[in-house]
């Protein structure tokens, strides 16, 4: 259908509209009918021929047709409106359902539009879109703007578009979802006006019950459902009082199943608030077993972070006594208390984060569970000792508090350099270590007569070798309590690995305590990922530099490190180079500290780090013959002169053609030249309170006759001589030289156009006075610039008064870094 039809301007009241109706039966000619209807004459009617051409089978409407979906009824409405409307009649009277059907319509690719299948050539295919699922909140944006190529502009489309209050999208899904895709209209966003401007109004159905509110700027009012929905369909409906340019451009639907989820979320939130209000009445109990201790490398049986991750957690009342905890766990694990499982409280060791079981409480008492709090992130931790069902045991070994002790075993393998958890034992306090050796060997598949060294791991994580000849394990151990940890290793393997690193378990424990992780950030390349390197407190500066140098491909002796700032996320103090200092000295910390990751910044240096101790690091500006300024860092000797600094700069630059290849050093303050520093001045005496600039000496300034020539400082300012900006420079002037010649040379140096240079004003500036040159024929008199009564800070300079337009352009250079976008 055409977008609109306009009546023909004619003096006669009867107008003719043509309608072509192609027939669907073969052998039947297409039927063309002429429909006569009356137009009201209007002076501004356009002289267009009015016709409608239907390019499909025309259907006759029936009483069973849906008035909102029937195309035949839509055609009848168009004809009706054509008879009584003196304005263009829109024929795009679509519905939301029709739009969805059009969106998922399957397109057949055939003929000249076949699908290119690469090596298989052009193939017939079908193309379309399917919906897999719909969101909880559905936003539909209506295409109310279209580009008009004839007028080369965007136009607003005001055609009628109908949308329902209830929306069922199940038919458009590839497969049904768990909940129906039924939606309720929640909001209608309306625009009144054309493409270039207008007014926005929002209609909202807050609770989905059909009670609509109108939000018009700061005015909120009740409105009818018809005003919110039907009156915003758009189109030129003569029965509607709404303007033709007022219509919906965006719809918001909420899925009906969301009501259930919304109520569920309210219930969850209410439960959360209830739990929060009753939090002081409950505590969290974390249960650990032997399986959770497997693979732990380090002191104790597990650390707090690992325990928090692998433990099973329960929420119980703080007033629950320990005997009730047994009953609770029996129900949860389906085990018999004290026969198939036993609970041991877990406490913190003193080495900074390790956990180990302690003596089981007396069940005859009324010990409350909250009295077992460890004070750690795990409020209460319990070790569940379970009977050895894997080896055919039916119940736990007996335990007598005064006669038995709970032991945990760990074996060290020097070949793989790992600790192996070997389970637990309940033994008599009178048993000797010699009697325990066969069982300890059997747990790691060693012959029962294997010679082993046995160590006691104290609460600080240190190992102390035990005397196997002692009468009992109680007398052999210094800290004999439940939860005692014994570490052992084969003597034969130790001898075989003698000379290898970490062959002995004690050296392995020291290595574990010294292990840290370094995060290294490149100061010069922001886009590079940070380096994460496993390290040791025993590393030296060179060890760290060697690893970093290998990763980045740079000489390790030319890498400088700095610590991370405590107060902000940036680099702080530079790390002083030392061949003997270790990381624990640099970090000023102890291996027992729980912090295991440290951040350093690094940068590539042009010199060896050990040489930098004898040099200054000087940040300077370098200016070439074109007044282009760049920043440099040089490293002159601490005991050198200004000439040594100039030599350092000379080695790092490339002189331009025709250059004098000679440099000088200036001190700059507030965009003005303070002085020229003599080459023989010692750097330690110079001071660096001002900006240091090194520049090429122009060929005409290499030789200056003090009797007739003078190097005049030139600076830029605007209105006030204290508002200086840009790059100052020296200009050689001669006694008796016309000021017009000076101006020409300045214009050539700055490369400023004649039009722009006409706006420049020139002034002789001192601390107390600014004298403008009104006469261009002024003759230079050196006495005006070299009078003896001028002090060092009050010497005159030539000021260029002009607007600071080129502050970041050519000639008015800044040292701001360019903005770089990394994809």
Give Cα separations from 617 to 99, 443, 614, 732, 819 (angstroms). Answer: 70, 63, 10, 32, 26
Averaged pLDDT for residues 185-202: 90
pLDDT band at 147 (very low <50, low <70, confident <90, very high): confident
Distances (CA, A) of 289 to 293, 342, 345, 409, 766: 7, 11, 12, 14, 86
Which of 82, 85, 86, 64 is CA-nearest to residue 73?
Answer: 64
- Taking only the tens place, the pLDDT of each residue in 396-406 is 999 888 889 99
Once rounded to an integer, what is the mean pLDDT over residues 101-124? 85
Select from 673, 646, 670, 671 the least CA-distant residue to 660: 646
Phi, psi (degrees; rounded to nearest 5) at 98: -65, -35
How many other CB atoms are found less than 10 A from the CB of residue 806?
17
Q: What is the pLDDT of residues 555-582, one digit of tens each?
A: 999 999 988 876 666 777 888 888 888 8
DSSP letter for 540, please: B
Would you say 96 and 140 are in contact if contact means Cβ atoms under 8 Å apart?
A: yes
Mean pLDDT, residues 741-757 taken together: 90
The pLDDT of residue 11 is above 90: no
State residue 364's pLDDT score: 54
Q: Is 704-823 CATH 3.30.420.40?
A: no
* pLDDT at residue number 51: 39
Binned at pLDDT 50, 70 and 90, residue 794 comes out as: low
DSSP bridge pairs for 39:
none
In this structure, whether the domain defined by 511-612 belongs to CATH 3.10.20.90 is answered with yes
Q: Could you tell me the two tokens for 707? A: 């009797």
Residue 809 has what pLDDT?
Answer: 44
279-391 under CATH 1.25.10.10, yes or no = no
Q: What are the CA-CA distances from residue 341 to residues 172, 321, 730 (Å)? A: 57, 17, 92
Of residues 191 and 265, more confidence is placed in 191
CA–chain centroid gap for 484, Å, is 47
- Cα torsion 9, 12, 14, 18: sign: negative
How are beta strands 161-162 and 94-95 bridged, if at all? parallel
How far does Cα 230 stand from its chain's mean position? 45
Q: Which residues neighbour 368 within 8 Å (Cβ) at sequence distance 6 or greater?
A: 318, 319, 320, 321, 322
pTM of the complete model = 0.51
Phi, psi of 40 (to 5 degrees): -80, 130
pLDDT band at 350 (very low <50, low <70, confident <90, very high): low
Q: What is residue 452's predicted lDDT score, i.e. its pLDDT?
A: 93
675-to-277, 522, 650, 756 alpha-carbon distances in Å:
73, 37, 21, 30
For residues 300 and 351, the answer to whether their CB atoms sit within 8 Å is yes
| 103 vs 92: CA distance, rounded Å | 16
CATH placement of domain 614-703? 3.10.20.90
Measure the CA–CA gap between 140 and 159, rounded to whole angstroms: 17
∠ at Cα 567 (562, 569), nearest 5°? Answer: 60
Residue 75 has pLDDT above 80, yes or no: no
Instruction: Return the pLDDT at 488.
Output: 95
Which pLDDT band, with edges at 50, 70 and 90, does 612 fall under? confident
What is the H or E stretch that residue 275 is in? Answer: helix 258-277
Q: How many CB atoms neighbour CB 252 within 10 A?
A: 17
**Burial class of residue 715 (count of CB atoms within 10 Å of its CB; 0-12, 13-18, 19+):** buried
Q: What is the DSSP string of 359-394?
A: PPPPTTS--BGGGG--SSSSSEEEEEEE--GGGT--
Summarize the confidence of residues 798-803 as an average pLDDT.
Answer: 90
Residue-wise burial string across 316-335, b where 16 or more C-beta atoms lie within 10 A, e elsewhere: beeebbbbebbebbbeebeb
Please compute the mean of the pLDDT values over residues 66-76 and round it to a whole number. 60
Mean pLDDT of 87-98: 63
CATH class in words for 404-503: alpha beta
Looking at residue 691, the DSSP 8-state letter turns out to be: E
d(CA 359, CA 351): 19
Note whether 355 and 301 are within 8 A (CB). yes
Q: Identify which has the larger pLDDT, 94 or 813.
A: 94
Q: Which two tokens stand for residue 40?
A: 């009201």
Q: Over pLDDT 70: what percentage of the chain?
A: 81
Confidence of residue 369 (pLDDT cuts 50, 70, 90): confident
Mean pLDDT rounded to a whole number for the chain: 80
| Tens-place pLDDT, residues 128-143 | 888 888 888 899 988 8
Q: Do strands 122-123 and 197-204 pair parallel, antiparallel, or not at all (unpaired)?
A: unpaired
Residue 78: predicted pLDDT:
58
CA 491 to chain CA mean position, Å:
53
Alpha-carbon torsion (623, 626, 628, 634), positive or negative: negative
Alpha-carbon span 694 to 664, nearest angstrom = 6
Judge whether residue 199 has pLDDT over 50.
yes
Cα dihedral 78, 84, 86, 92, rounded to 10, equals -10
CB-based burial label for 358 (10 Å; 0-12, 13-18, 19+): middle
pLDDT class for 594, splitting at 50, 70, 90? low
Residue of higher predicted confidence among 458 and 39: 458
Say if residues 461 and 513 touch (Cβ distance below 8 Å): yes
**Where in the chain is CATH 3.10.20.90?**
279-391, 404-503, 511-612, 614-703, 704-823
- The pLDDT tens digits of the residues spanning 528-557 come to 788 888 888 889 999 999 999 999 999 999
pLDDT classification of 76: cutoffs 50, 70, 90: low
Matching residue, tokens 């002090």 = 791
Q: pLDDT by residue (tens digit) across 223-251?
A: 999 999 999 988 765 445 456 788 999 99
For range 697-702, the mean pLDDT: 90
Question: Is residue 330 pLDDT above 90, yes or no?
Answer: yes
Instruction: Name the class of domain 126-259.
Output: alpha beta
The closest alpha carbon to 250, from 265, 232, 236, belongs to 232
pLDDT tens for each residue of 40-67:
444 334 333 343 433 434 455 566 666 5
Give residues with Cβ within 8 angstroms of 744, minimum separation 6: none
562, with CB counted inside 10 A (0-12, 13-18, 19+), is: middle
């Amino acid at each position: 259908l055409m977008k609109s039809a306009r009546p023909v301007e004619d003096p006669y009241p009867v107008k003719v509209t043509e309608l072509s109706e192609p027939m669907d039966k073969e052998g039947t000619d297409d039927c063309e009918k002429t429909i006569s209807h009356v137009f009201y004459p209007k002076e501004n009617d356009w002289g267009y021929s009015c016709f409608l051409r239907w390019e499909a089978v025309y259907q006759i409407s029936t009483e069973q047709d849906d008035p909102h979906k029937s195309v035949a009824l839509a055609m009848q409405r168009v004809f009706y409106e054509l008879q009584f409307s003196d304005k263009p009649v829109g024929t795009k009277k679509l519905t939301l359902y029709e739009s969805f059907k059009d969106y998922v319509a399957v397109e057949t690719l055939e003929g000249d539009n076949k699908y290119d299948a690469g090596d298989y050539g052009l193939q017939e295919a079908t193309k379309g879109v399917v919906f897999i699922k719909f969101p909880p909140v559905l936003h539909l944006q209506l295409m109310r703007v279209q580009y008009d190529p004839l007028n080369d502009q965007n136009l607003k489309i005001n055609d009628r578009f109908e949308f329902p209050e209830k929306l069922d999208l199940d038919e458009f899904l590839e497969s049904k979802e768990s909940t129906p895709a039924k939606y309720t209209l929640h909001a209608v966003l309306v625009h009144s006006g054309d493409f270039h401007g207008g007014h926005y109004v929002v209609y909202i159905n807050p609770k989905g019950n059909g009670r609509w509110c109108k939000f018009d700027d700061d005015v909120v009012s009740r409105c009818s459902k018809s005003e919110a929905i039907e009156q915003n369909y758009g189109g030129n409906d003569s029965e509607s009082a709404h303007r033709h340019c007022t219509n919906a451009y965006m719809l918001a639907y909420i899925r009906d199943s969301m009501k259930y989820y919304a109520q569920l979320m309210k219930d969850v939130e209410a439960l959360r608030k209830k739990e929060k209000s009753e939090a002081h009445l409950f505590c969290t109990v974390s249960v650990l077993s032997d399986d959770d201790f497997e693979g732990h490398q380090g002191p104790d049986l597990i650390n707090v972070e690992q325990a928090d991750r692998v433990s099973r957690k329960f929420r119980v009342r703080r007033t629950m006594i320990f005997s009730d905890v047994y009953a609770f766990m029996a129900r949860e694990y389906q085990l018999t208390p004290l026969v198939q499982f036993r609970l041991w409280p877990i406490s913190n060791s003193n080495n900074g984060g390790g956990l180990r079981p302690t003596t089981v409480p007396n069940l005859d008492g009324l010990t409350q569970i909250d009295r077992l709090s460890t004070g750690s992130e795990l409020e209460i931790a319990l070790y569940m000792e379970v009977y050895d069902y894997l080896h055919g045991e039916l119940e736990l070994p007996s335990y007598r508090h005064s006669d038995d002790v709970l032991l945990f075993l760990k074996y060290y393998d020097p070949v793989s350099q790992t600790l192996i958890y070997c389970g637990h034992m309940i033994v008599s306090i009178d048993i000797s270590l010699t009697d325990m050796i066969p069982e300890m060997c059997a747990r790691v598949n060693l012959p029962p007569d294997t010679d082993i060294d046995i160590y006691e791991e104290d609460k600080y994580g240190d190992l102390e070798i035990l005397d196997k000849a002692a009468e009992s394990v109680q007398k052999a151990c210094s800290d004999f309590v439940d939860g005692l940890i014994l570490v052992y290793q084969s003597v034969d393997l130790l001898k075989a690995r003698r000379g290898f690193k970490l062959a002995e378990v004690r050296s392995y424990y020291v290595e574990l305590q010294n292990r840290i992780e370094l995060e290294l950030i490149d100061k010069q390349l922001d886009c590079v990922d940070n380096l994460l390197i496993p390290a040791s407190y025993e590393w030296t500066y060179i060890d760290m530099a060697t690893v970093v140098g290998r990763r980045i491909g740079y000489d390790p002796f030319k890498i400088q490190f700095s610590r991370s700032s405590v107060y902000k996320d940036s680099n702080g103090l530079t790390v002083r180079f030392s061949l003997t200092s270790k990381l624990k000295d640099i970090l000023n910390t102890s291996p027992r500290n729980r912090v295991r990751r440290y951040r350093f910044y690094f940068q590539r240096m042009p010199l060896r780090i050990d040489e930098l101790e004898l040099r200054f690091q000087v940040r300077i500006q370098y200016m070439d013959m074109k007044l282009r300024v760049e920043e440099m860092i040089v490293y002159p000797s601490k005991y050198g002169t200004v000439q040594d600094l100039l030599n350092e700069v000379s080695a790092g630059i490339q002189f331009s053609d025709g250059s004098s290849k000679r440099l000088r050093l200036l001190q700059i303050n507030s965009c003005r030249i303070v002085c020229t520093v003599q080459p023989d001045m010692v750097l330690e005496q110079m001071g660096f309170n001002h900006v240091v600039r090194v520049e090429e000496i122009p060929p005409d300034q290499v030789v200056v006759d003090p009797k007739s020539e003078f190097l005049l400082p030139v600076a830029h300012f605007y209105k006030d001589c204290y508002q200086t900006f840009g790059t100052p420079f020296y200009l050689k002037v001669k006694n008796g030289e016309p000021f017009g010649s000076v101006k020409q040379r300045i214009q050539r140096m700055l490369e400023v156009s004649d039009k722009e240079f006409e706006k420049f004003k020139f002034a002789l500036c001192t601390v107390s006075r600014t004298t403008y040159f009104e006469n261009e024929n002024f003759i230079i008199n050196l006495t005006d610039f070299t009078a003896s009564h001028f002090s060092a800070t009050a010497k005159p300079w030539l000021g260029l008064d002009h607007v600071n337009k080129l502050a970041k352009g050519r000639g008015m250079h800044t040292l701001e870094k360019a903005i770089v976008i990394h994809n």
